[in-house]
Amino acid sequence: MFAPLTRYGASKTQETPSSRKHSGDDGKNPAKLALMDRADSHVEPSDVVTGGALARAVWRASAFALFLPGLVVAAGYGALWIALYLNGKGDGALARVSLMVLVIIVPLLFAYAGLRLSTTRLTLRGAHLEVHPGFPARDPVIVSYPAVTGLSLRYGLSGWITGAGSLVIEREHGVPVVVSGLTRPDAALADLSARREAFSAPVASRQS
């Protein structure tokens, strides 16, 4: 009389929270897994909210590209001062100028590069983007995705060496916004283009 009840209770206890968790993981969206795999030291991975919507992705500037000018100046004037010193001209005017550049100008270049590195970033949020142009600019520029009319990349001399580049964002109203020295400008452009297309697709479908 009690045997069926015992078997029924045992069958219910076989369903554990871990089994329910594994069964729910089978329906994961592949787009979520791709976002989790896209890790970079200069890029914060996108957050995913309910429904698979992209919440936030942060693209930062390249430290190498920002500090490269200061390194070149330090190496050039340092080599010049050493050459003058070894040739017995360490007390000359040119040697004193080189030493002043090494002591004053180079630290200022490094300080400026550090400020730019800590304040330059591109933040892609759910419905808009925020551009922090970097020091000395203080306020971010906020642009909605539908208001973006064009995207392009620019590479300077340091960009060909470091791989960093500037992302130019054209908008409906106002001058284009430039995010300088991004570590992976091509990936940032692809991410922004995908978000822009995602917001323009519903509008196009409604018009058709």
pTM of the model: 0.67
Query: CB–CB of 60/183 below 8 Å?
Result: yes
CA distance 35 to 95: 54
Considering the domain boundaries, does residue 84 fall inside one?
A: yes
CA distance 52 to 54: 6
Considering the domain boundaries, does residue 32 fall inside one?
A: no
Number of separate domains in the chain: 1
Alpha helices in the chain (DSSP H): 3-13, 17-25, 30-37, 63-86, 93-100, 106-119, 157-162, 185-207
Query: CB–CB of 168/185 below 8 Å?
Result: no
Give Dmax (Cα) for the chain: 110
Tokens of 197: 């297309």
Considering the domain boundaries, does residue 153 fall inside one?
A: no
Neighbours of 79 (CB within 10 A): 11
Considering the domain boundaries, does residue 109 fall inside one?
A: yes
The domain of 84 spans 65-115
Neighbours of 66 (CB within 10 A): 24
Considering the domain boundaries, does residue 89 fall inside one?
A: yes
CA distance 162 to 19: 48
- DSSP states of 155-182: --HHHHHH--EEEEEEESSSSPEEEEEE
CA distance 171 to 204: 19
**pLDDT value at residue 157:** 84
Tens digit of pLDDT at every position of the chain (208 positions)? 444 444 434 434 444 444 444 444 444 444 433 333 333 334 444 443 334 456 689 999 999 999 999 999 999 999 999 999 999 988 999 999 999 999 999 999 999 999 999 999 999 998 899 999 889 888 899 999 999 999 999 998 888 889 899 999 999 888 999 999 999 999 999 999 999 888 876 554 444 4
Considering the domain boundaries, does residue 74 fall inside one?
A: yes
**pLDDT value at residue 55:** 64
